[in-house]
Amino acid sequence: MGHQMSWKRILVDGQERIQLEGSISEHTDFRSLIEVASDSLALDLAHVDQINSCGVREWINFVNALRELGKNLEMHRCSPAIVRQLNMISNFRGDGKVQSVLAPYFCDACDNEMTQIVDLAGIESPPEIAETLPCPNCGEDMEFDDLVDSYLGFLGR
Ligand SMILES: [Zn+2]
């Protein structure tokens, strides 16, 4: 289990985003996040490393509360842990718009791990995910570290 979720404000291209970091569980308190959201909330989810089943429930309560308050939710750079939930649970995003996700890659040759951003804002159909990428560390092929055919499956719903 990673450390408890914390958040901070970041600026990306002039837009204020709230960057979440750590694990989402039954101990995660989303109230302060609902309070900082004015009419919309742009979350950076790149550093959410884990969500347990109680955390999923807290998250869904959170997105439902935003919807009831009429606040828009944007989800940027969703980590693989978040993408897994998007694919498993149809109401995980609520009315949230998934703007981009991170695709995980692993290098067998040197154990290097990295993620590649996949931009989803304004797209008509799901973009292709590259199955391999050259490893910046050793030059061998890094392999996509999930299921290439279903990683963006949530887009079809
Ligand atoms: Zn490598």
Distance 133 CA to ligand 1 centre (A): 10
3-state DSSP: the chain helix, strand, coil percent, rounded to 5? 20, 40, 40
Per-residue pLDDT band at 3 (split at 50, 70, 90): confident
Q: Classify the phi-psi angles of 49: left when phi > 0, otherwise alpha if psi is within -120 to 50, otherwise beta.
A: alpha
Query: Mean per-residue pLDDT for 32-48?
Result: 92
Stated pTM of the model: 0.94
Per-residue pLDDT band at 1 (split at 50, 70, 90): low
Domain 6-156 maps to which CATH number in 3.30.750.24, 3.40.50.1000, 3.30.70.930, 3.30.420.40?
Answer: 3.30.750.24
pLDDT at 82 over 90: yes
Distance 148 CA to ligand 1 centre (A): 20
Mind listing the pLDDT tens digit for each residue in 113-122? Answer: 999 999 999 8
Q: What is the mean pLDDT of the chain?
A: 94
Q: Which amino acid is at 31?
A: R
Distance 80 CA to ligand 1 centre (A): 20
Note the pLDDT of residue 44: 98
CB 141 within 8 A of CB 134: yes
Distance 107 CA to ligand 1 centre (A): 5
Distance 109 CA to ligand 1 centre (A): 5
Note the pLDDT of residue 122: 87
Query: Mean per-residue pLDDT for 51-69?
Result: 96
Note the pLDDT of residue 2: 63
Sheet holding 100-106, edge to edge: 113-119, 100-106, 141-144, 132-134
Per-residue pLDDT band at 126 (split at 50, 70, 90): confident
Query: Mean per-residue pLDDT for 83-99?
Result: 96
**For the chain, what are the domain ranges?**
6-156
Positive or negative: CA dihedral 2, 5, 11, 15: positive
Distance 138 CA to ligand 1 centre (A): 4
Distance 101 CA to ligand 1 centre (A): 22
CB 56 within 8 A of CB 87: no
Residues 6+ apart with CB under 8 A from 53: none
Mind listing the pLDDT tens digit for each residue in 4-37? Answer: 899 999 999 899 999 999 999 999 989 989 988 8
Query: Mean per-residue pLDDT for 118-145?
Result: 94
Note the pLDDT of residue 157: 66
